[in-house]
Structure 1
Amino acid sequence: MLLHRVTNRGIRLGTVFDRASARHPASPVYLDHDLDIAPELGRRLTLTEIADLVADHASRLWAAGVRPGERVVIHKADGFDISLLAYSVARIGAVPVLLSPKLDGATVARLLARLGRPVLLTDAAKLERDLPAEVFELAERVLVATGRFPGTTPLAALAGVQRVAPVTAPQDRAALITHTSGTTGLPKLAVQTGHTIQARCRPQSVLLAPVGRREPIAVHVSFVHSRMISGAALFALRGHPLIVLREDDPEQVAELFSRVPPGVIESHPNTLLRWEVLADHPAKPLARVRCFSNTFDAIHPRTVHTLLGASERKLPFFAQTYGQSETGAIAARTYTRHRSGGADGRCVGRTFPGMTEVRVASRDGRRPSRESPGHIEVRSGGQIIGYHGEDQRFDRNFSPDGWWRMGDLGYRTRWGCLHLLDREVDEIPGISTLDLEDKLFTRLPELLEVIIVPGPDGPPVPVVCTRDDRPLDRGRWDEAVTGLPLLAAPVQRRLDELPHTATTKVKRLELARELAPHPIGPDRP
């Protein structure tokens, strides 16, 4: 199998910025927020300054007693310093465990228990407002990145400690633990090694091949997402100027992109959907974009078409990738301005030769097709090595001959393209909810979100959010659903009312449960 023949020495997370700064010392990193652990550095840094910041905090962690092999949970206020602290933890041979700032305190406590007394690196505000007192019993020790709290060691008190040399850990051992999206319950803890992280960088290098290394790359990805860790490493080592965003408010984004025009933008699909309004912004913040890229979820064709139309570059393209936290990118397809308007949004492309493989297993003995989708199964050098504390759950996802089951339903065309129709847990017999949502997005530009969930006692229920929360025009809605499978009357909600994961995906099962006790019909707003 070709993907196992690719040489892989591992990524060595702890020294990524040392190597990047040695190659590109003055390469800039622009932020839309101050770093909690170093606000004095401002919002324009160099790779040299970031390398020094990582080394400094690695030495502080060592002085606080963190040692190689220990698991260090990072759960603090949102910001790029979450990722930088992960590199600091890795620099001294410990294993960073990244938990989203959006997780509630009870969930964090349950994950700490699963980890078996790790070190907890948080901040005083989280301890005061969000985390239960039991975290002090569940953690070996508690460190705070900012502020002071009784019973903790503040990293600020360790400023100026003697620098320690980086620890070189074996690249086949755990190097990073991130959690899955949690759309179906308590998040799982996905374990990666230096080898798997390195393997995840390769598909992205393929997608970036047409992009010059002087092109600034703007990234708006959850700071606890595995993609943020591997992506920041890859972009820095290539020498791209980086634009790292915490906020996704279109006006704030437009202001920053007008000052520092990106050549590449990577973000979650729902964020790119929100940024469609930038296409008509008078400042033309997307005019210099050569490449748009989304993380591992399928994106709606309307968004692709709108964003490509906003670029004034000669040959802009959109790189759509498909994968998940457990596998990294598995397949991809590219769109151009001339191949985006009528594109099939369910096609997520082809695999990366020599790096990833995919097959679709039948569920009913028939060849998988649009009418009879099968289980999507993959193999990749970037696959995680397990779920921490849940070996049996991890093993259940493998087929008897070693293929990883994605939990998605789809089929492959005669030309080898992979088509994704639904998540297995979200399937509604007889329809593809994702395909219906694509059609509704295309027909109703005013939609900011549409999610189709099972109805409690009847047809599927579309939950819709509109731009600026304007009332849905029912006449336009009725016209848009003409010719589509029968749907219940739409339920309108504000976007912030929907349950979201750390990567902005809507928790469909939770949303369906929220709707179940309530009457659904034309009398609902």
Structure 2
Amino acid sequence: MLNITTFLDANACRLSKPVFHCPDRDLYYTSGEILSIVSGIGEKLIQAGVQKGDRILIFLNNSPEYLFSYLAGWRIGAVVVPTNRIYTKFEIAYMIENSGAKMVITDASGAIFLEEMQCESKSNSNDFQFDLQNVSVYVPDPAEIEKMRKHPVLPPACVTCDDLCQIQYTSGTTGKQKGAMLTHGNWLAAISNECDVMAFSETDVYLGIYPMGHVGVSWGISALRAGALYIMMERYELEKYLNLIEKHQVTALSGMPPVIHSLAGCPPGTEDRIRTVREIISGGGPLHHEIWKKFHHRYGIPVVNAYGLSETIVIGTGTAIRPPDYAFADKFQSVGHPVCFSEVKIVDELDCSKTLTQGEVGEIALRGPAVAKGYFGYPEETKRVFLPDGWFLTGDVGYLDKDFRLCLTDRKKDMIVMSGWKIYPTEAEEVLYRCPAVKEIAVFGVSHPHRGEVPAAAVVWADAGKTENTDELLAFAKEHLAGYKIPRKVVTVSDLPRVGGWKLLRRELREKYNGKIEFENL
């Protein structure tokens, strides 16, 4: 039997120092205080009728309440559905309906947002349908939560390693987001591997910038498990990031390619401000060779270049470069060897039963203890990528070098990764096709020196004579899509490149416009 939150019980017995800090509110929490607060919220959920196996959707910004709600859901055996406050009403409505969520945990403004969604749906709009009738809403009061610091400890629910604790939505090529089914056992593997890769200890100070609705929060939870101090940024800002590093003598940093790019270009003297840092994580997208090399030669801080997915809780099953690898990593392009108990292989993109040899480029497959059970409510898609022998087909393309280190080359899917955010063109297109101004549209990625990639759109307009088409499309996109999914540039075309008149060739659009589009203030 295993409940992943029991690491809090163990740490509360032996640690009295702060392990979690919210700088925006100047709040610190010990392991024992977190355990008490989690117990208090857990009791609130039980009193509201939440039972083992029920789904709880979290609709909050990065905050202590988000972290405590995660842990409280797991504590009582519920299944947490993390989301992000930047999602639109369409995305939230879909996740509530698809997951069968029994409760939404949100803040006051989020509750108003949900009420407005319900009212709009009742107005008989053909564009939007949503029903909160069987869904309760819980708004944790920060003042009330502060009073829970000495709440009696709630015993953990009795669950197994195979019991679900989370449904993590990750976009898909079908245009619908799919919920990866993650278990207590998956999380045990993820926490263990991340503690190992980062060599976390009680003396470490970890600064986390990842959204709590993203599996990148696992690095912070791993720091908690190790008894390190986890400092949570509610929103990333470079100068604030540097100030926190300097003030708290941070030893382990969360990062992503745009952050590392920014650090590499910071003014002289920044070296002294981050002198206490021993490692920085890079994930969420490819770290370009030149940026990595420039950062390394300037700061001498090893980059833990990690590879994993929502379906594997980052490197719960995945690969990573570690500081000892740096003697051999002169090319600055690998994402390293498999982490503990994980396996990686390259298979033929058209025949996954065929394993390729070193140096051959193909689809990356992973197998290990943190691979999700499948996609919630999508049995056919589950069968396609979660194979019976345990291998998971990632959809990413790469090869194993002569030392069996994994190198990424491309993506089998047309996914765009902007500052760590994953954008699937088909999902965005499905929404944008509803704009009256659009006849045909293709969303594709183009490279950007700071963001890695950004989404652009090629459009065949319904009325080619109108001049305000682009403004109309972008206004529609802002209403219906999360901000990071909105095309950063719109180009007008007479027709879209297709094979045989039907299969869209996004590759041709990328090749045609890559490096030829200018972006301002991005």
- Is structure 2 residue 186 aligned with structure 1 residue 202? no
Matches of 2:359 and 2:226, distance apart in 1: 44
| Contact 1:112/1:139 (<8 A) preserved | no
Query: Contact 1:290–1:311 at 8 Å: present in 2 too?
Result: no
Q: In structure 1, how many angstroms separate the alpha carbons of the residues matched to 2:270 and 2:450?
A: 22
**Structure 2 residue aligned with 1:111, among 95, 98, 102?**
95
1:71 Cα offset (Å): 1.0
Distance 1:277-1:249 versus aligned 2 partners, 3 A rule: farther
Q: What is the CA-CA distance between 1:194 and the residue it aligns to?
A: 1.0
2:212 to 204, 223, 230: 223
Match in the other structure for 1:388 = 376
Shift of 1:107: 0.8
- Distance in 1 of aligned mates of 2:298 and 2:151: 50
Please show how residues 62-81 of structure 1 align to structure 2 within 5 Å. Answer: 62-81=46-65
Q: Which residue of 2 aligns with 1:324?
A: 309
Which secondary structure state, in structure 1, belongs to the residue aligned with residue 321 of structure 2?
strand
How far did 1:44 drift? Answer: 2.8
Secondary structure of 1:323's partner? Answer: strand
| Paired residue secondary structure (2:71) | helix
Q: Is structure 2 residue 279 aligned with structure 1 residue 267?
A: no
Give the CA deviation at 1:66: 1.8
Where does residue 52 of structure 1 map in the other structure?
Answer: 36
Q: How many residues align?
A: 441
Q: What's the TM-score, normalizing by structure 2?
A: 0.72
| Aligned match for 2:345, one of 356, 359, 381 | 359
Counterparts of 1:100-249 in structure 2, within 5 Å, are: 100-129=84-113, 132-133=117-118, 137-138=131-132, 140-146=134-140, 164-180=154-170, 185-209=175-199, 212-228=201-217, 230-249=218-237
**Residue identity in the other structure for 2:90:** A
Q: Structure 1 residues 398 and 514 mapped into 2: Cα distance closer, same or farther (>3 Å)? A: farther
Q: 1:283 to 1:294 in 2, by over 3 A?
A: closer
| Pair 1:270–1:171, CA change in 2 (3 A) | same
1:77, distance to aligned residue in structure 2 (A): 3.1
Letter in 2 for 1:65: G
Distance in structure 2 (CA, Å) of the matches to 1:331 and 1:121: 33
Q: How far did 1:463 drift?
A: 4.7
Counterpart amino acid of residue 14 in structure 1: T
Partners of 1:327 and 1:505 in 2: CA distance: 26
Secondary structure of 2:220 counterpart: helix
Equivalent residue of 2:69, what SS? helix
Q: Secondary structure at 2:366's aligned position in 1? A: strand
User: Do the aligned residues in 2 keep the contact of 1:32 with 1:247 (CA within 8 Å)?
Assistant: no
In the TM superposition, residue 413 of structure 1 has moved relative to its aligned partner by 2.4
The amino acid across from 1:196 in the alignment is N
2:335 corresponds, among 331, 348, 353, to 348
In the alignment, which residue of structure 1 is the partner of 2:241? 253
Cα separation, partners in 2 of 1:164 and 1:416, compared to 1, 3 Å? closer
CA distance in 1, matches of 2:489, 2:389: 36
Aligned counterparts of 1:524 and 1:218: Cα–Cα separation in 2: 33
Cα gap change, 1:249 to 1:395, in 2 (>3 Å): same
Matched, 1:18 2:9: yes
Q: Give the Cα–Cα distance (whole angstroms) in 2 for the partners of residues 279 and 184 of structure 1.
A: 44
What residue in structure 2 maps to residue 29 of structure 1?
A: 20
2:293 to 277, 291, 305: 305
Letter in 1 for 2:202: R
Following superposition, the deviation at residue 356 of structure 1 comes to 0.8
Q: Secondary structure at the match of 1:359?
A: strand
Q: Provide the C-alpha distance between the structure 2 equivalents of 1:411 and 1:171, rounded to a whole number of angstroms.
A: 32
1:145 Cα deviation after fit: 1.9
CA distance in 2, matches of 1:400, 1:166: 32
Contact (CA 8 Å) 2:360, 2:400: kept in 1 or not?
no
Q: Distance in 2 between matches of 1:285 and 1:408?
A: 37
Match of residue 497 from structure 2: none
- Conserved in 2, the CA contact under 8 Å of 1:59 and 1:162? no
Change (3 A) 1:246 1:343: farther
Query: Is the contact between residue 261 and residue 295 of structure 2 (CA under 8 Å) also seen in structure 1?
Result: no
Cα distance in 2 for partners of 1:173, 1:92 equals: 12
- Shift in Å at residue 98 of structure 1? 0.8
Verify: 1:98 aligned to 2:85, yes or no: no
The residue type equivalent to 1:22 in the other structure is C
1:197-222 alpha-carbon deviations (Å, 9 max, x no partner): 1112232233133x553121222222
Deviation (angstroms), 1:195: 0.9
Offset at 1:43? Answer: 2.7
CA distance in 1, matches of 2:39, 2:28: 19
TM-score, length-scaled by structure 1 = 0.71
Q: What CA RMSD, in Å, does the superposition of the two structures yield over aligned residues?
A: 4.3
In the TM superposition, residue 422 of structure 1 has moved relative to its aligned partner by 0.8
What's the CA shift string for 1:252-275, capped at 9, x where partnerless?
112211110111112333343344
Aligned-partner SS, 1:226: coil
Shift of residue 174, structure 1, vs aligned partner: 0.7
Relative to structure 1, the CA distance from residue 61 to residue 513 in structure 2 (aligned partners, 3 Å threshold; closer, same or farther) is same
Q: Structure 1 residues 21, 181: closer, same or farther in 2, change over 3 A? A: farther
Deviations along 1:245-303, whole A, 9 cap, x unmatched? Answer: 22221111122111101111123333433444457455833111111122354322344
Does structure 2 retain, via aligned residues, the 8 Å contact 1:408–1:420? yes
2:393 corresponding residue in structure 1: 405
Residue identity matched to 1:25: S
SS of structure 1 residue aligned to 2:80: strand
8 Å Cα contact 2:249/2:277 also seen in 1: yes
**What is the aligned partner in structure 2 of residue 5 from structure 1?**
none
1:359 corresponds to which letter in structure 2? Answer: K
Residue pair 1:302, 1:341 contacting (<8 A) in 2 also: no
Change (3 A) 1:180 1:322: same
Amino acid at match of 2:12: S
Q: C-alpha deviations, 1:347-374, integer Å up to 9, x for none? A: 2222135x11111112479985899621
Shift of the 140–367 alpha-carbon distance from structure 1 to 2, 3 Å rule, reads closer
Instruction: Give the SS at the match of 2:165.
Output: strand
- State the match for 1:6 in structure 2: none
Q: Work out the CA distance in 2 between the residues paired with 1:120 and 1:16.
A: 26
In the TM superposition, residue 72 of structure 1 has moved relative to its aligned partner by 0.9
Please state how far the C-alpha of 1:117 moved relative to its aligned partner.
Answer: 4.8
Secondary structure of the residue aligned to 1:425 is coil
Q: Quick one: structure 1 residues 334 and 165, their matched pair in 2 at CA, closer, same or farther if it must change by over 3 Å?
A: closer
Relative distance call for 1:28 and 1:306 in structure 2 (3 A) is farther
Distance in 2 separating the partners of 1:385 and 1:448: 24
